[in-house]
Amino acid sequence: MKTLLGVLLAHLTLLALAAHAAEAPRRPVPGVVVRVLDGETLEVLVGDRLETVRHIGIRTLLIEHPVTGSERYRHWATAVHARLVEGEDVILQPGIAARDAAGRLLASVRVHGRLVSAELVRSGFAEVMTTPPNVGDRGVLLALQARAQADRAGFWADADVYRLYRPARSGVLASPRTLSFFHVDDEKSGLEERLESFESPEAAIRAGYVPSFDYRIHEERDWRTRVVVTVPGAPVPAAVRAAVLQPSPAAPRHTWRGGVFVPVN
């Protein structure tokens, strides 16, 4: 009964979000950036209305330094974001899911033809965070993140980042037929006729879904792909420089324990 109730509540939530999303534009729309709010969110004047826009596919790295905290990194990311877009004319391409639960417009943002999310990842001031159904640029962004890590761009030049960084977990796709959820990289999800989207595996579990048979394999592969460890001051290994979507041999080993991945000594 709890499982069925959870799935029903998830359906009602999605219907409410769909109704809200109906108010969002579907085609590319021009706008002017009024200001940035942080490393991943900005305010854009679209016609006569002010939209709070969140970049699709990325977030600022969450780095909790035991001494200095996270503010230094957040301020740095916000300043870089502002230099890229503040006061600029932009084109917004809303995602398949056009708004999030907070009502923010989810969009790919282009300035002078450049995809801003890609520029932030390439320069090392954002990481990939995929929330289905907005998955279109995932492969490109993962490749750019691997390159930024190999080149020690932006945050990746800070030795503390390699010690403290934990990748953002990807959202999941869930099947109401099997009551299981799939990693966004699992091609088996394409065999399902209808899928629900969740921003995290925890959200899917709360709605009554369980991991698919291959979920943990894809989750660990995603983790290994994005956690690259190099010794500060040492030359970047050729294997890391060549890594695009494949894990580096230098990546730390992890194992699944109690629902999370933990390092293997």
Mean pLDDT of 176-199: 88
pTM of the predicted structure, to 2 decimals? 0.75
Query: CA–CA separation, 69 vs 71, rounded Å?
Result: 6
Cβ distance 85 to 54 under 8 Å?
no
Mean pLDDT of 201-228: 87
All structural domains of the chain, each given as residue ranges with its CATH number in brackets, are: 2-13+28-257 (2.40.50.90)
Mean pLDDT of 6-31: 58
Query: CA–CA separation, 160 vs 158, rounded Å?
Result: 5
Per-residue pLDDT tens digits for 51-104: 999 999 999 988 888 887 788 889 999 999 999 999 999 999 999 999 998 999
Q: How much is the mean pLDDT over the chain?
A: 80
Query: CA–CA separation, 229 vs 244, rounded Å?
Result: 15
pLDDT band at 25 (very low <50, low <70, confident <90, very high): low
Mean pLDDT of 48-52: 96
Tell me: pLDDT of 20 over 80. Answer: no
The C-alpha angle with vertex 18 and arms to 129 and 116, in degrees rounded to 5, equals 35
Residue 23 has a pLDDT of 58
Tell me: pLDDT of 201 over 50. Answer: yes
Per-residue pLDDT tens digits for 156-170: 988 888 778 878 888
